Amino acid sequence: MDYFEQLGLSRDASTTDIKKAYRKLANKYHPDKNSDSDVEEKFQLIKTAYDAIVDPKKRSVYLKSNYTLITNPREVADTFWQNALR
């Protein structure tokens, strides 16, 4: 899923809009405030999405890379070689 979709935003959202959406969802899905079973996982997804798009530099990289942010280049290399050796 797209990080902007996870926060309920369009791709042209401002930093202020991103922060507002994050605060709203973080309050709703924070494990200390909600006792549902899947809340912790949802909260982590929201936090990951926020971290990737709140910073204008990271957001630019994310948007340029077809909405996937590469955080660990080793994962890309491992995936490449796994697929190549099949």
Buried b (16+ CB within 10 A) or exposed e, 58-69: ebeebeeeeeeb
CATH number, domain at 77? 1.10.287.110
* Per-residue confidence band for 33, with pLDDT thresholds at 50, 70 and 90: confident
pTM assigned to the model: 0.70
Q: What is the mean pLDDT of residues 59-83?
A: 70
Confidence at residue 71, expressed as pLDDT on a 0 to 100 scale:
60
The gap from C-alpha 45 to its chain's centroid, in whole angstroms, comes to 6
Domain limits at 48? 3-84
Say if residue 6's pLDDT is above 80: yes
Are 54 and 18 a contacting pair, CB within 8 Å?
yes
Please state, as a whole number, how many other Cβ atoms lie within 10 Å of the Cβ of residue 2.
13
Total domains in the chain come to 1
Are 43 and 31 a contacting pair, CB within 8 Å?
yes
Say if residue 75's pLDDT is above 70: no
* Per-residue confidence band for 66, with pLDDT thresholds at 50, 70 and 90: low
